[in-house]
């Protein structure tokens, strides 16, 4: 049971929500790994929830929904939260899960015909490490953001 809540820190309830489109490249790795770990714990806490594809972190829409849910949970379970905040979080979870269910149903990751087979949607172990594919996605995303920043800086100065 302790593993399900390990790493959940609600002492920083006043921390702003993560806005992925403007997240600095140097913050992306920590945020992505933290969201991955939180999502694995969420799937173990609520095994009946919508099954996410193993590559959910490669789908920005899923990342932003799960991140918003994590930020909302942090605020709802902070020491300063109202006693009714747990119900507020459960309502948000229900609403987000409805959207996740629809979006996941439309995905066809890698064209795998077994896509909706439960083995393709297996929940990662609580004791596991992050998958190599997550690390590759983080590296690719950081490189793309750094390149975009360089292009923006060059465009702002008018250099060619």
Task: List pLDDT tens digits, range 54-94.
Answer: 889 999 999 999 999 999 999 999 999 999 999 999 999 99
What pLDDT digit, counting tens, does each position of 93-137 carry? 999 999 999 999 888 775 555 555 554 455 666 666 677 789 999
Question: What is the distance between the alpha carbons of residues 28 and 142, in angstroms, rounded to a whole number?
Answer: 7
pLDDT of residue 120: 46
Q: At what angle do helices 25-45 and 132-157 cross, to 10 degrees?
A: 150
* Domains in the chain: boundaries: 31-127
- When the pLDDT of each residue in the chain is averaged and rounded to a whole number, the result is 83
CA angle centred on 110, ends 105 and 111, rounded to 5°: 70
Exposed / middle / buried, residue 87 (Cβ in 10 Å: 0-12, 13-18, 19+): exposed
Between the alpha carbon of residue 151 and those of residues 29, 146, 158, the distances in Å are 22, 9, 10
**Residue 119 near residue 2 (C-beta atoms within 8 A):** no
For residues 5 and 150, the model is more confident at: 150
pLDDT of residue 4: 43
pLDDT of residue 74: 95
Q: Is the dihedral of CA 121, 122, 128, 133 positive or negative?
A: negative
What pLDDT digit, counting tens, does each position of 22-37 carry? 998 889 999 999 999 9
From the list 79, 54, 38, the residue with the least C-alpha distance to 134 is 54
pLDDT of residue 9: 54
pLDDT of residue 145: 86
pTM listed for this prediction? 0.79
């Amino acid at each position: 049971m302790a593993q399900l809540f390990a790493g959940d820190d609600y002492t920083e309830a006043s921390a702003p929500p993560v806005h992925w489109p403007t997240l600095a490249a140097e913050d992306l790795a920590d945020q992505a790994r933290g969201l991955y770990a939180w999502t694995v714990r969420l799937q173990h806490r609520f095994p009946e929830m919508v099954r996410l594809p193993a590559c959910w972190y490669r789908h920005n829409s899923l990342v932003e929904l799960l991140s918003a849910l994590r930020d909302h949970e942090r605020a709802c379970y902070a020491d300063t939260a109202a006693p009714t905040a747990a119900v507020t979080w459960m309502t948000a979870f229900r609403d987000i899960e409805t959207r996740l269910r629809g979006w996941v149903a439309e995905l066809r990751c890698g064209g795998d015909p077994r896509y909706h087979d439960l083995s393709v949607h297996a929940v990662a172990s609580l004791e596991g490490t992050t998958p190599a594919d997550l690390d590759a996605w983080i590296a690719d995303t950081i490189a793309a953001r750094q390149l975009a920043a360089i292009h923006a800086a060059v465009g702002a100065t008018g250099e060619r």
